[in-house]
Amino acid sequence: MDSKIGLIIQLAGVSLITLLTLFLRRSLNVVALKHWTNAWLFLSFSLFCLRLAFSYETYSVQLFSFYFLTEYFFGFLLVAGCRSLDGNKEMKMRGEVLVLPFIVIAFGLPFLADDFNLVFNAHSLIVSGFFSIAFIELWKTRIRSFGSKVMLIALGLLTLNFFSYFVIFTARQYVDIETSYLAFNSVVDLVLQILLGFGMVIVLLEQVLTDANIAHEKLQKAHEKLEELAHIDPLTTALNRHAFHGYLNRHGNDGKAANGCVGFFDIDDLKDINDVYGHAVGDTAIRAVVRAIREMIRAEDLIFRWGGDEFFVIMVGLDSEIALDRMARMEDMLSNVRIEGVTQPLTVRVSHAFEDFSDIADLEITIEKADAKMYIEKQRRKAALASRQSSNRTASNRGQDLVARSY
């Protein structure tokens, strides 16, 4: 095959790869793609200059210089693209300065010999070095996807290919060797470059897919967090009414039988605490009650905040009598609550009642029954407290009368 025809075929193939990366760049915002697109543009231009140099000997020195220079730019940007895959990082100014020595080499090589073949060996060694460095940089990213493996194979073969050019073109200066097969070197280069471009496209698509999966996971976590916030009472971290209705929808339609009990709780005289000590202390008292309830219930039981100072607990598989026994220590736990800003420990009283249910569908009715039972208990506790206070006042008055009579 005529070397000029092979070079035209190579130029056509590289130009197609360049067009592909240009189209991808319009859709993908990846730093590596930016470097690689520019790299293929430079390689296309370098092959174009080489083709012109073979046809126009008058300008061959200048065209060979541009051929060398743009191939070095190709290699430099190829390495930069491989390096940027690790974190999608831009190239630093310090790295850009490294291209300066290659500019000197590119414009100096054509003046070392009149025959292009006499300097092509040095150029091949430099290009082989670029491919080997790109191989190392891609290996260091620890990306082991299908696309990266294709790229590593292509880079390895291109390294060996151009290093073989260095060996052959150096050896032929000293010994007479058969080099007729080099007429096909443009086709070999094109095949390996197509393999490299194919690997690049796969790597880019894999990276976009990975980024999309990461973004999806972040959105999923954010959605779950929002769902959690929508179901959690911010003051007590207990579940709220919205969470309760979601619980009914999930478990009420699954067809599974479930029984247990509901416990309803109401804080006594919370308004008095708020009036005397302030709402911040009242909020602390509410949290103390929720902590006490959590100490009493099982890990699988659910606690919901129903209103300002009202809570209920769903205890599946537990009857009301056992649940009531579990709550026996609650008053002791809330008898000496220490709150920052309050000098003396507070006693927080809680009225509660339990009601059994035989089906999840009966939960709302059961809650109403437990609420009504708790209200009766609350009134009884208030009446008993008022009776004790009245008895204490009566006893105190009698004691004062006896003291007065003794005088």
pLDDT at 403: 44
Q: Are strands 350-357 and 260-267 parallel, antiparallel or unpaired?
A: antiparallel
Estimate to the nearest angstrom the gap between the alpha carbon of 323 and the chain centroid.
43
- Paired tokens of 10: 């190579």
CATH code for the domain defined by 3-222: 1.20.1070
Provide the pLDDT for residue 307.
83
Under DSSP, is residue 190 helix (H, G, I), strand (E, B) or coil?
helix
Count of Cβ atoms closer than 10 Å to residue 142 Cβ: 9
Give pLDDT, residue 266: 93
CA end-to-end span of the chain, whole Å?
139
Please report how the helices 363-406 and 241-252 are oriented relative to each other, as an axis angle in degrees rounded to 10.
140
The separation between CA 169 and the C-alpha centre of its own chain, rounded to angstroms, equals: 52
Per-residue pLDDT of the chain (407 residues; tens, 9 = 90+): 566 788 888 899 999 999 999 998 888 888 899 999 999 999 999 999 999 998 888 889 999 999 999 999 999 999 999 998 877 677 665 667 788 888 999 999 888 887 888 899 999 999 999 999 999 999 998 888 999 999 999 999 999 999 999 999 888 888 877 767 677 888 899 999 999 999 999 998 888 888 888 889 999 988 878 877 788 888 998 999 888 988 888 876 666 778 899 999 999 989 988 998 899 999 999 999 999 999 889 989 999 998 888 999 999 999 999 988 888 888 888 888 888 878 888 889 899 999 999 988 889 999 999 999 999 988 888 888 778 777 766 655 655 554 445 44
The pLDDT of residue 393 is 64
Backbone angles phi, psi at 265, to 5 degrees: -130, 145
Q: What is the pLDDT of residue 366?
A: 93
Question: What DSSP assignment string belongs to 94-149?
Answer: HHHGGGHHHHHHHHHGGGT-SSTHHHHHHHHHHHHHHHHHHHHHHHHTT--SHHHH
Q: At the top level of CATH, which class does the domain 241-406 belong to?
A: alpha beta
What element of type H or E holds 313?
Answer: strand 310-316
**Domain extents in the chain:** 3-222, 241-406
Beta strands in 211-309 (DSSP E): 260-267, 302-305
Nearest to 21 by CA among 199, 271, 259, 287: 199
Q: Which two tokens stand for residue 54?
A: 């073979």
User: What confidence tens digit (pLDDT) does each residue in 136-183 have?
Assistant: 999 998 888 999 999 999 999 999 999 999 999 888 888 877 767 677
pLDDT, tens digit (0-9, with 9 covering 90-100), for 225-252: 887 778 888 899 899 988 898 888 887 6
Query: How far is it, in rounded angstroms, from Cα 308 to Cα 233?
Result: 11
CA dist 347 and 330 (Å) reads: 11
